[in-house]
Amino acid sequence: MSKDSSKVLSVASIEAKNLSVVLGGHKIIDIPSFSVFPNEVLVVIGPNGSGKTTLLLTLATLLKPEKKAIIAYWGQPVKYTSDILKLRRQFAVLFQEPLLLSGNVWDNVTLGLRLRGIKKDEIILRAKKWMERFGILGLAKRQIKTLSGGEAKRVSLARAFVLQPQILFLDEPFTALDSPTRAALLDDFESVLRETRVTTVMVTHDHNEALILADRVAVLIAGQLRQIGKPNDIFNYPVDEEVASFVEIGNILNGTVSQQNSGIATVAIGSGQIEVVSPVLAGTRVTACLRFEDISLSIPGNSDTVTSARNQQKGIITRVLPLAAQVKVILDCGFPLTALISKRSYEEMGLMAGQEIIAAFKASVIHLIPHK
Amino acid sequence: MNLIWQGIVEAFRLLIHGDREMLRIAALSLEVSLSATAISLILGIGAGTAIGLNKFTGRKFVISLVNTGMGLPPVVVGLAVMIFLWRGGPLGFLHILFTPVAMAVAQVIISLPIITGFTAASIQQLDTKLRFQILALGASRFQMVWLVIKETRLPLLAAVMAGFGGIISEVGASTMVGGNIMDQTRVLTTAIVMEAGRGDFGLAIALSVILMILVYAVNLVLTMIQQRNKAQ
């Protein structure tokens, strides 16, 4: 069996087949097949409770999947016997909390190396290198209890990198930090990742972390891998309504293609209709995704606002929501539509609820998802 | 009033003169209870760690048994040990009834659930993710258990204090399986009961003062260890 599987499975760093994980009688993860390639940074995103942490723990061999599952590391299917320690010692795992042990910073950074029985000289060399890299060399003697959140996180990062892992697993490592600390740390972490080219699997619900770090992004919803691909594809071309909603694509409108005319689909939505550059055939039920910021607003009768946009939707403002630098304007054009405009335009145009307005957007900025 | 005053004066006289019989009694008390605590520690940390770390069917039942055991009446333990060690009893051939060994056995039975319960509870209280993190750092099963025990050492010291405090001050089991035999099995608590019963309040008060000093001294040492770890 093991010979057989190692032939089938390629040289991916991790290759999983029939990956299902059941915890407390509930199926948390159900993924038919999934790979992580050497030197890539794969970021798994998904809402809370989608099974991200379970997936990560399973890939890090800390949880056992169902019997039918095969997970191979560098072509070798894992067996959950005492050999697993050897495999696990090629990994490093970082959790949301720093999870440091009592003692001082040095004890913590060197713990993994000491557990491996590595020689003292090398421990000192490696620990110093990575503590310096994460800016905590000066904290070596400090007791863990006296560290700030950001310092503790740096200690846990050094503790992971000092192991020189073949695969790095991260579970929302930056979530619990305040935003300046997080930005500084993310910056350091990103450059270390680029330098070391360590194969990385990270789970997060933060889109920005995915955009900054990922070579590929996977979207996990309800334990299923809905989409995997380049960050740009995931955030601009979601494959279904739930992914679209999770990646915050903006307006998500359900309708039916009423007409197809040489690559321009007319989609009937509510009591209105829009035109979209798409080959989808008439009669197909579709979900149309349209970013808030791709919509521009103008006041009817104002001749200055000539536009090349194919869609000119007349509507009525139902609500105005001021944000920090921008304003969210919600319209009714026969279907609800939300636009995001700058505070300045909002003030110049003097927009208010109840006012008539024209929403313009290009036929090419809309992403259509045909329903199956 | 006079009685109490006389008792206290007598107590101080005995303490200052360092009455030999009194010292022997105190030494035996310490010997029996410290060795019982040590044995309970070894068994209890092992059992408590096993209960705290592993998920198995009947775990809740085992925990409820341990928790019940934390409140075992010493007299009942004494009776059970006595029956087992009685000449015709299942372990009668050991011939240890009415010896300090029998008293230590009874005290192990009293303190073991306390130490097991404290250990299991403090290990369960540790973040599950900490165990994952320790394993992920490359710890073997044995290394993981060792690190987890090290992480819980503060509550474990509390367990030692509770266990030791419970057995050095119990009287029921010691009386039953020890027999309060002079120079052999007489310990502080059994001697206090006897002297008080005879109306020799001076000696009873002196023994009580010694008992309290011993309990305080042992706890002081343990507290210092505990707090030193904390302050580091």
pLDDT in tens, A215-271: 999 999 999 999 999 999 999 999 999 999 999 999 999 999 999 999 999 999 999
Q: Which CATH superfamily is domain B19-231 in?
A: MetI-like (1.10.3720.10)
Q: What is the pLDDT of residue B200?
A: 85
Chain A residues in contact with B146 by the CB 8 A cut-off are none
Say whether pLDDT at A110 is over 60: yes
Chain A residues in contact with B155 by the CB 8 A cut-off are none
For residue A2, name the pLDDT band (cuts at 50, 70, 90): very low
Is CATH 3.90.1150.10 what the domain over A2-245 is classified as, yes or no?
Answer: no
For residue B232, name the pLDDT band (cuts at 50, 70, 90): very low
Chain A residues in contact with B134 by the CB 8 A cut-off are 101
**Least confident segment among A105-109, A149-153, B8-12, B87-91:** B8-12
For residue A56, name the pLDDT band (cuts at 50, 70, 90): very high
* A&B contacts, CB < 8 Å: 48
Shortest alpha-carbon distance between residue B130 and chain A (Å): 6
| B151·A101 Cβ contact <8 A | yes
Find the closest chain B residue to A88 by CA distance: B138
| B133·A95 Cβ contact <8 A | yes
Say whether pLDDT at A3 is over 80: no
For residue A57, name the pLDDT band (cuts at 50, 70, 90): very high
Q: What average pLDDT does range A268-297 have in this prediction?
A: 94
For residue B39, name the pLDDT band (cuts at 50, 70, 90): very high
Which residue has tokens 């109840």?
A: A354
Q: What is the pLDDT of residue A361?
A: 94
- Residues on chain A bordering chain B, Cβ-to-Cβ distance under 8 angstroms: 57, 60, 62, 85, 88-89, 91-93, 95, 97, 99, 101-102, 111-112, 115-116, 143, 159, 163, 169
Q: What average pLDDT does range B68-84 have in this prediction?
A: 93
Chain A residues in contact with B137 by the CB 8 A cut-off are 92, 111-112, 115, 159, 163
Q: Which of A101, A145, A167 to mutate to test the interface with B (most CBs of B within 10 A)?
A: A101
CA distance A306 to A302: 9
In the structure encoding, which two tokens stand for residue A74, read together?
């560098």
Q: What is the pLDDT of residue B229?
A: 59
| B232·A85 Cβ contact <8 A | no
Per the rule left: phi > 0, alpha: psi between -120 and 50, beta: everything else, A270 is: left
Most trustworthy range by pLDDT among A166-170, A185-189, B83-87, B164-168: A166-170
The architecture of the domain spanning A251-370 is: Beta Barrel (2.40)
The share of chain B scoring above pLDDT 70, in percent, equals 98
Helix (H, G, I), strand (E, B) or coil at B208: helix
Chain B residues in contact with A91 by the CB 8 A cut-off are 136
Shortest alpha-carbon distance between residue A94 and chain B (Å): 8
Q: Which of B55, B137, B147 to mutate to test the interface with A (most CBs of A within 10 A)?
A: B137
Domain ranges of chain B: 19-231
Q: What average pLDDT does range B127-134 have in this prediction?
A: 92
Q: Which of B138, B150, B232 sits opposite A143 (nearest CB)?
A: B232
Distance of alpha carbon B74 from the chain centroid: 11
| B137·A163 Cβ contact <8 A | yes
Measured between CB atoms, does B126 come within 8 Å of chain A? no
Q: What is the pLDDT of residue A309?
A: 85
Find the closest chain B residue to A146 by CA distance: B232
Q: What average pLDDT does range B16-36 have in this prediction?
A: 91
Say whether pLDDT at A5 is over 70: no
- What are the helix (H) ranges across chain B? 2-17, 20-53, 59-69, 74-85, 100-125, 128-136, 141-151, 153-168, 172-178, 188-198, 201-231
Say whether pLDDT at B183 is over 80: yes
* Nearest Cα residue to A39 out of A220, A201, A233: A201
Reported as a single tens digit per residue, the pLDDT across B197-216 is 998 888 888 889 889 998 99
Q: Which of A111, A116, A169, A201 to mutate to test the interface with B (most CBs of B within 10 A)?
A: A111
For residue A8, name the pLDDT band (cuts at 50, 70, 90): very low
| B150·A102 Cβ contact <8 A | yes
Q: Which of B133, B141, B150 to mutate to test the interface with A (most CBs of A within 10 A)?
A: B133
For residue B227, name the pLDDT band (cuts at 50, 70, 90): confident
CA distance B166 to B168: 6
CA distance A139 to A13: 35
Q: Which of A57, A112, A169 sits opposite B137 (nearest CB)?
A: A112
Measured between CB atoms, does B133 come within 8 Å of chain A? yes
Q: What is the DSSP string of A340-370?
A: EEEHHHHHHHT--TT-EEEEEE-TTSPEEEE
Domain ranges of chain A: 2-245, 251-370
Question: Which amino acid is residue A127, in one-letter code?
Answer: A
Q: What is the pLDDT of residue A4?
A: 45
Say whether pLDDT at B230 is over 70: no
Measured between CB atoms, does B130 come within 8 Å of chain A? yes
In DSSP terms, A266 is beta-bridged to A259, A275
Q: What is the pLDDT of residue B191?
A: 94
Shortest alpha-carbon distance between residue B136 and chain A (Å): 6
CA distance A349 to A274: 25
Indicate the pTM of the whole model.
0.84
The share of chain A scoring above pLDDT 70, in percent, equals 96
Chain B residues in contact with A62 by the CB 8 A cut-off are 132, 135-136
* Average pLDDT of the residues of chain A: 92
